[in-house]
């Protein structure tokens, strides 16, 4: 199953909705209250480089990240250079995406990215910040 999560405000929403309607194994989700359930069931994510990146890392979800805003480029580049995520730039998305997905068909690659994710983000940051402030 391919879960597609997209806001109706996204400029590609109609196109993605039409594609999902044609594919029986594609499920379009919109306006979800949270992503933890989908993330915990997924094997691989293709997503933007925003704040959800940290959720995916915390939950050990191997990810191909596309920085879609200028403030995401440096963070995604750093995460990619340390092999926490795989990076693909928007300009090369359609050209390189099939090759990148193929790379993740290897269970050892998935496992390696997942383990590295857990080593970077442990989900206890809020407690550490609160302790520091108190």
User: Whole-model pTM above 0.75?
Assistant: yes
Give residue-wise pLDDT tens across range 2-17.
999 998 898 889 999 9
Give residue-wise pLDDT tens across range 73-124.
999 999 999 999 999 999 999 999 999 999 999 999 999 999 998 889 888 8
The CA distance from 63 to 60, in Å, is: 9
Taking 3-state DSSP, the helix, strand and coil percentages for the chain, each rounded to the nearest 5, stand at: 55, 15, 35
39 with 63: CB under 8 angstroms? no
The CA distance from 19 to 26, in Å, is: 8
40 with 104: CB under 8 angstroms? no
pLDDT band at 43 (very low <50, low <70, confident <90, very high): very high
- DSSP per-residue codes, 53-75: HHHHHHTT--EEEE--SHHHHHH
């Amino acid at each position: 199953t391919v879960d597609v999560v997209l806001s109706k405000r996204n400029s590609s929403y109609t196109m993605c909705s039409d594609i999902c309607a044609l594919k029986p194994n594609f499920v379009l989700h919109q306006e979800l209250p949270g992503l933890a359930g989908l993330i915990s069931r997924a094997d691989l994510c293709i997503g933007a480089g925003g704040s959800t990146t940290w959720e995916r890392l915390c939950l050990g979800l191997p990810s191909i990240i596309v920085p879609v805003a200028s403030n995401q480029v440096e963070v995604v580049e750093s995460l990619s250079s340390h092999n926490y995520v795989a990076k693909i730039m928007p300009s090369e998305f359609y050209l390189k995406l099939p090759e990148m997905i193929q790379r993740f068909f290897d269970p050892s690659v998935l496992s390696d990215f997942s383990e590295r994710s857990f080593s970077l983000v442990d989900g206890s940051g809020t407690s550490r910040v609160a302790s520091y402030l108190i």
